[in-house]
Chains A and B, each alone.
Chain A
Amino acid sequence: MLGTLENSIRVRPISSELSILGNCDGSARVKQGNSSVMVGIWGPVEVKQSKEDPEKCVIETTVKGATGQGSPLDKMYEEAVRQTCEQVVITSAHPRTCIQVIVQVESEDGAILAVMKNALCLALMDAGLPMRSMFAGVSCAQQENEELMWDPTAEEEEESTAQYTFVYENSRNNVIYVHCTGESTVEQYMLALQKSRQVATEVFGFYRESFEKLLRKDVKFQMLLPPIIKGEILEEPE
């Protein structure tokens, strides 16, 4: 996994667990290095009358941090998660309903927005909601020497001069969400935007692997999937 990247691009090991919550309609946990996020989806379910929309389903998001009482940052993450869902989920398919997205941050060590988006995409797919495309989040930090560092840890984020999070969709390869802070020139920004797309491609490959692993347990799909060459898929990434 994640082997075909340019040499300069290094990311932390990424792992996922799908359908780990028994009661939710869809759930996923994604770990990237020491950052770990759990996302659960309920929906489409009934909606409060005051929020009902006759043309599309309403997306409600809740983001909870791992420690402490809710920080104001959670509200910004909620907005970010909702915006991405609205871009991708075909909301007109379920009018007068509501999709609840619950994000639980389990441990935070950098690139948290990207981890959140990756877990969100896997959970949405696990819930079987109609989507226009998949999406993958990529975080990168610009070091003081102008070099880019992908999937940074909290410490690396702290030391960097600019932090970017891009979310790419895979139908037209466009970017559907950007969160950028710090100081950067237009050229540096465009370079980060273009290079990060490579990481997104790898993440899409990772989604595929994750789902193959899940579906292999289901007899219906076993025939459709290529056979496992012993040890190939279950091998632990070094």
Chain B
Amino acid sequence: MREVPLSLNSQEFLSSVLKEGLRPDARGGYDYRDIKISFGPQWGHAEVLLGRTRVLARVSTTVAQPAPSRPNEGSLFFNVHLSPLSSSKFSGARSDFSTVVTRLLERTIKETRVIDTECLCIVAGEKVLNLRVDITLLDFAGNVIDASCIAAMTALSHFRRPDFIVNGEEITLFSDKDRDPIPLSILHVPITCTIGFSGEKILVDPNDEEESVMDGYVSIATNTHHEICYIYLGGGVTLTPALVSKCCEISSLKTQEISAQITKSLDEDSALRRKAGTDRPSAISSLTLQEKLDRLYVEDRTNKRENLQAEDGIESATFGSITIRYIDEMDTMDEDGVVALSESAAEPAQTIPDTSQEEESFPGF
């Protein structure tokens, strides 16, 4: 099926609006769209809604022979499927973009040793558990990279592998019913933050329209320890070292925010499962679980909104029902080269439990 490109008028409008520092969906330059994380009935089934971009992640295991080079480690495999459900520009077949996302996830999650793969070994050199993460893009509205990474990390944190025992030569793999499955050992949580560039302006979490007019983007994966895990520069844009370090600061901050949300949603899910009387997902109806999660999410969101609005000192203009907020001045820098972020972007750092430490390492905030 043929892809429908953005009309010339829309393109012109968008670039002129972005030049003025406005974003079509009334976001600030550093704002992410709403992130909604929900879980399915099985372990390792997570769905992430980033704005309207919807990504499904499923984790599964198989028993296989290990690679001869690493006889006592299981492997982690990513499969990114850009389903034709999501947009007319994806045919469902492997494309350049799906390879980009797969590579990015591999570099970010597999090669930074997020999962302790030695825990997946059953009998060294003979049998290991292999992990497979299936990422399916269900709806496309820009920034597939971040949505996929959040979904993959959430699903891996949510997943529980089957328990096994080895008795001589006999291997017994227990079903979830016979023995409680075991969570994976996750060493750190890297999250990518994609930042688009349109002329002088930077756009955190670009949506589909912005993606079609922006010059290029950078995806930076950082973890909660303020470590940079991977940087990917896409779209053929060139950056100054100062801009790169500024983007790294933004990414680090957003990672704190997002990983806090992942932890929170995981806690909520486990609380719900416990409340349902059992940790075994098959015993609860997914409908009620889903609905409860939805409700929690809605309450949480409305609270947040109200708080935000109360403290919101940013100038905003309203046209009918559309609110346009001005992007904060992005080019102001201190003498030290540390970026001064506006309040609204720095504010969510409150959700991070360990703020004191952060202030030490980032005197700019």
Query: Do residues A67 and B60 form an inter-chain contact, with CB atoms below 8 A?
Result: yes
User: Please, which residues of chain B bring their CB within 8 A of the CB of A14?
Assistant: 287
- Interface stretch, picked from A98-106, A132-140, A193-201, A211-219, is A98-106
- Inter-chain contact B42/A107, CB cutoff 8 Å: yes
Q: Is A45 an interface residue (CB 8 A)?
A: yes
Q: Which of B276-303 contact A (CB under 8 A)?
A: 281-282, 285-288, 290-291
List residues 57-93 of chain B with CB under 8 A from any CB of chain A.
58-60, 79, 81, 83-88, 92
Q: Which residues of B contact A152 (CB under 8 A)?
A: none
Is A96 an interface position by the 8 A CB rule?
no
Per the bound structure, the CA–CA distance linking A131 and B212 in Å amounts to 37
Known A23-B88, A109-B41; judge A34-B286 contact (CB<8 A).
yes
Q: Measured between C-beta atoms, what is the minimum distance from B144 to chain A in Å? A: 13
Binary interface encoding of chain A residues 204-237 relative to chain B, with 1 for a CB under 8 A from any of its CBs, else 0: 0000000000000000000000000000000011
Residues of A within 8 A of B139 (CB): 20-23
Interface residues of A in 173-188 (CB under 8 A from B): none
Whose C-beta in chain A lies nearest to the C-beta of B79? A69
User: Complex formed: what's the CA distance from A102 to B81 in Å?
Assistant: 13
Task: Contacts A31-B286, A33-B285, A107-B40 given; indicate if A21 touches B84 (C-beta within 8 A).
Answer: no
Q: Which residues of A contact B286 (CB under 8 A)?
A: 31, 33-34, 36, 107
Residue pair B1, A46 in contact (C-beta under 8 Å)? yes
Indicate if the CB atoms of A67 and B1 lie closer than 8 Å: no
Tell me the minimal C-beta distance from B288 to chain A in angstroms: 7
Number of chain B interface residues as a range = 35 or more
Q: Is the CB of B281 within 8 A of A34?
A: yes
Within 8 A of B (CB), among A1-36: 12-15, 20-24, 27, 31, 33-34, 36
**Whole-angstrom distance between the Cβ of B294 and the nearest chain A Cβ:** 11
Task: Tell me the smallest distance from the CB of B289 to a CB of chain A, in Å.
Answer: 10
The answer, yes or no, to whether B56 is at the interface (CB within 8 Å) is: yes
User: Which residues of A are found within 8 Å of B56, using beta-carbon distances?
Assistant: 66, 104, 106
With a cutoff of 8 Å between Cβ atoms, the chain A residues found around residue B92 in the complex are 62, 64, 102
Q: How far is the CA of A13 from the CA of B288 in the complex (A)?
A: 9
Query: A105 vs B299: C-alpha distance in the bound complex, in angstroms?
Result: 29
Tell me if A42 and B88 are in contact (CB < 8 A): yes
* B325 in contact (CB, < 8 A): no
Contact of B58 (CB < 8 Å), options: A45, A62, A67? A67
Cβ-based interface call for B269 (8 A): no
Smallest Cβ-Cβ distance to B140: which chain A residue: A23
Instruction: Tell whether B266 is near chain A: CB-to-CB under 8 Å.
Output: no
Q: Does B138 contact A (CB under 8 A)?
A: yes
A24-B54 Cα distance, complex, nearest whole Å: 13
Contact in complex: A68, B138 (CB < 8 Å): no
A38 to B56 Cα, complex, angstroms = 11
Q: Which residues of B contact A109 (CB under 8 A)?
A: 41-42, 282
Closest Cβ of chain B to A24, distance in Å, is: 6
Q: Which residues on B sit within 8 Å (CB–CB) of A107?
A: 40-42, 45, 58, 286
> Does B272 reach chain A (CB closer than 8 Å)?
no
Interface contact A22-B285, CB-CB below 8 Å: no
Name the A residues within 8 Å of B42 (CB-CB): 34, 107, 109
Q: How far is the CA of A67 from the CA of B45 in the complex (A)?
A: 10
Give A5 to B79 CA distance when docked, in angstroms.
43
B223 within 8 A of A: no
Q: Is B201 an interface residue (CB 8 A)?
A: no
Supposing A100-B84, A236-B291 touch, asked if A21 and B41 sit within 8 A by C-beta, the answer is no
B110 contacts chain A at the CB level, 8 A cutoff: no
Q: How far is the CA of A33 from the CA of B59 in the complex (A)?
A: 20
Contacts of A46 in B (CB 8 A): 1-2
Interface centre among A24, A27, A67 (most CB of B within 10 A): A67
9 contacts between A and B (CB under 8 A): A23-B139, A33-B287, A36-B286, A45-B1, A64-B81, A66-B58, A67-B59, A104-B83, A109-B41
Q: Which 4 A-B pairs have the closest CB atoms?
A: A34-B41, A40-B85, A67-B60, A13-B287
